[in-house]
Amino acid sequence: MTCEFKIKDRVGTINPIFTCQPAGAQYASIGIKDCIGIVHGGQGCVMFVRLLISQHLKESFEIASSSVHEDGAVFGALDRVEQAVDVLLMRYPHVKVVPIITTCSTEVIGDDVDGVITKLQEELLDVKYPDREVHLIPIHTPSFVGSMVSGYDVAVRDFVKHFSKKGKPSLKINLITGWVNPGDVKELKHLLAAMEVEANVLFEIESFDSPLMPDGSAVSHGSTTIADLEDTANAQGTIALNRYEGGAAAKWLQKRWDVPAVIGPTPIGIRNTDTFLQNVKAMTGHPIPDSLVRERGIAIDAITDLTHMFLADKRVAIYGNPDLVLGLAEYCLDLEMKPVLLLLGDENAGYAEDPRIKALQENVSHDMEIVYNADLFELEQRLKDGLELDLIMGHSKGRFVSMDYKVPMLRVGFPTYDRAGLYRYPVVGYAGATWLAEQMANTIFSDMEYKNNREWILNMW
């Protein structure tokens, strides 16, 4: 039995799993209070990303574009940034944080975004807005390297670099959630509250599961404040749940301000949630309360009802963000399932050294492939060649592969827009472990009914 780790052996990408770096920077920036990013590039670099995020979260929010046109692409477009910042500040008097997020075109033409920020500080902010707190932050996210995942990582690091400021030591920890859903943030905050641990949560998007209120306000905003970001330098430690979505910021805080960093594990499943809570306990000295031991027990009870009878030996393909994919694969193994194909949508030198991938290579007892720089065609091609699967797990962009090859699919990751309310449910923590196991089982049950495949088993329950 082997676990093969390899790059896709085909040039070009068909049906990509990821979009580009600026998308990740935009997702991170919506988690900050009083922040509207300006994406320096063509309008589509915002329009399509904003649409994806809106389709996923079913919320409206604001991101601006410098809207570069042909002349800017040839002669440079920094004048568009200057105008965009001024218009944004006039139009939104509450805005304090304005990341200038670069794109492929503006990186290729070599626009000096750092330089224009210095100019804007002296010639615009100091002159026209002298009494207003405004932070202009360059975020370099050329789309011809990395992916939306590395864009998120770069943005988190650069926000932390800009704001973190040494002050009085704090009893808080920094919690860098990675690219998660509002339901995940809610569950993580619940776990920390149960342990009576306070945290600077980067980035706080729980508010994107927002109410529609009588005043008609329908625009969502993140909740991480400038004070939270400044305080990251004074925390007891940083826990970055995802290695590739926040790990760089955790390492930077450790190097710059001696804030101890713990990177991972992504708390998907019982085992990884246990480790996360143990890490919080070791960092803060706060014990794990009985209430969480009870929640763990409820989750284990729910899982036990499903594992051996229904989930064992089910063959699964998983694609999406690497931390999510690897966390789900680890959890599937704990559930006696067989993750046979993992698809990571980009190329990252760190994958080869990832201890989770090494552990899978050493320990897995069935044939398995981990393909990086992969696309959805890779999944389709394997199914066409006869790969047998009981379940696919990934975001909604894989829905046609699932439909065409009649393999049931559990929507998880980003974006998910063809099932209702998924952003509300966590995949992390004990609640996430229960939700995932039950959703996997229910997806398989529905498929058994639809195909009249051993449907009688369900009657015996």
CA distance 89 to 281: 43
Q: Give the span between the Cα atoms of 259 and 237, in whole angstroms.
A: 5
What torsion, rounded to 10 degrees, do the Cα atoms 416, 421, 423, 424 define?
Answer: -160
In terms of CB distance, is 22 or 327 closer to ligand SF4? 22
Nearer to ligand SF4 by C-beta: 143 or 232? Answer: 143
Q: CB-wise, 16 or 260, nearer to ligand SF4? A: 16
Give Cα separations from 335 to 109, 130, 192, 300, 348 (angstroms).
Answer: 50, 59, 26, 11, 28
- The closest alpha carbon to 245, from 180, 330, 327, 332, belongs to 180
> Closest approach of Cβ 104 to ligand SF4, in Å?
3
Please, which residue, 41 or 408, has the CB nearer to ligand SF4? 41
Query: What span, in angstroms and rounded, lies between the C-alpha atoms of 36 and 136?
Result: 10
In sequence order, the 6+-apart residues with CB closer than 8 A to the CB of 269 are: 327, 330, 331, 334, 433, 436
Least gap, CB of 151 to ligand SF4 (angstroms): 9
Query: Do 179 and 27 form a contact (C-beta atoms < 8 A)?
Result: yes
Residue showing the smallest CB distance to ligand SF4 in the complex: 45
The distance of closest approach from Cβ of residue 103 to ligand SF4 in the complex, given in angstroms and rounded to an integer, is: 3
Q: Indicate the residue among 25 and 185 with the shorter CB distance to ligand SF4.
A: 25
Q: Which residue ranges make up the site for ligand SF4 (CB under 6 A)?
A: 20, 22, 41-42, 44-45, 103-105, 143
Closest CA to 86 of 125, 60, 47, 135: 125
**How many contiguous H segments (helices) and E segments (strands) does the chain have?**
19, 14
The least distance separating ligand SF4 from the CB of residue 418, rounded to whole angstroms, comes to 22
Q: In the bound complex, what is the minimum distance in angstroms from residue 457's beta carbon to ligand SF4?
A: 47
Q: What are phi and psi of 100, to 5 degrees?
A: -100, 105
Question: Which of these, 288, 246, 283, 248, lies nearest to 170 by C-alpha position?
Answer: 283
Q: How far is the CB of 49 from ligand SF4 (least distance, A)?
A: 7
- Measured from the CB atom, the residue of 103 and 150 that comes closer to ligand SF4 is 103
The least CB distance from residue 144 to ligand SF4, in Å, is 8
Query: Of the candidates 53, 56, 152, which has an alpha carbon nearest to the alpha carbon of residue 424?
Result: 56
**C-alpha closest to that of 72 among 114, 115, 41:** 41
Residue number, 65 or 238, with CB nearest to ligand SF4: 65
CB of 269 to ligand SF4, least distance (A): 33
Q: Which is nearer to ligand SF4, 179 or 430 (CB)?
A: 179
